Amino acid sequence: DVKVTQSSRYLVKRTGEKVFLECVQDMDHENMFWYRQDPGLGLRLIYFSYDVKMKEKGDIPEGYSVSREKKERFSLILESASTNQTSMYLCASSPLGTGMAEAFFGQGTRLTVV
Amino acid sequence: GDSVTQMEGPVTLSEEAFLTINCTYTATGYPSLFWYVQYPGEGLQLLLKATKADDKGSNKGFEATYRKETTSFHLEKGSVQVSDSAVYFCALSQVEYGNKLVFGAGTILRVKS
């Protein structure tokens, strides 16, 4: 069964902490994405990656960075967590090169910054 | 840039009622269109998709038709069940942009027995 796995379902962190959210996919997909989900705003793209060591900013990259050292793993980093980064974070992956591609999502990480 | 607009919720229906959730889009090219569903406490799952004009996507009794002339992809179901209660997201993607998904705000559906 194909999978996108996020390392934590729930996290509570303190303001100013450096936070790592990990995502692993087992489908050999080229594309990986990080979104945040907030009520009334839907999903907003933070960063995405087409390949190892490549990254592109999405719509709301401020306060975040990413790392993709291996094809299957895409990490989201909050350099200095703030309360306005309290949200649900969703990782997704998809294959490159076809408009038919469906994105596969992880189960989400609900991050609370206190 | 590309965008997706969905009807605001929450939508509350009785079991066996007819469901329509409106979705319209703005895109520069010819996007693929998707409906995703998020059940309580879970991540998003693909519900159905369509890749070109007049295509109809269908799954689990839900269907949506890609209408290029009205730039719409409305979700319908003839008879909803309590288990359909979830958040529904309309989305588009384009090959030219690496299949990056652009989502609507989501519509909460509540079905009462």
**What per-residue confidence (pLDDT) applies to B96?**
74
B46 with A101: Cβ contact below 8 A = no
The minimum CA-CA distance between B9 and chain A, rounded to whole Å, is: 9
Cis peptide before A95 (omega within 30 of 0): no
Has residue B87 got a pLDDT over 90?
yes
The minimum CA-CA distance between A35 and chain B, rounded to whole Å, is: 10
CB A43 within 8 A of CB B93: no
Mean pLDDT across B3-8: 91
CB B98 within 8 A of CB B35: no
Q: Are strands B107-112 and B11-14 parallel, antiparallel or unpaired?
A: parallel
**What per-residue confidence (pLDDT) applies to A99?**
52
Question: Which of B43, B46, B105 is facing A108, going by the closest CB pair?
Answer: B43
Mean pLDDT across B53-82: 97
B105 with A40: Cβ contact below 8 A = yes
The model's pLDDT over A68-82, given as tens digits with 9 standing for 90+, comes to 999 999 999 999 999
Other residues' Cβ atoms within 10 Å of the Cβ of residue B96:
12
Nearest to A100 by CA among B25, B33, B71: B33
Cα distance between residue B59 and residue B55, in whole Å: 13
**What per-residue confidence (pLDDT) applies to A10?**
95
A99 with B51: Cβ contact below 8 A = yes
**What per-residue confidence (pLDDT) applies to A66?**
97
- DSSP designation for A103: P
The model's pLDDT over A22-55, given as tens digits with 9 standing for 90+, comes to 999 999 998 899 999 998 888 999 999 988 989 9
Q: How far is CA B34 from the centre of its chain?
A: 6
Helix (H, G, I), strand (E, B) or coil at B82: helix
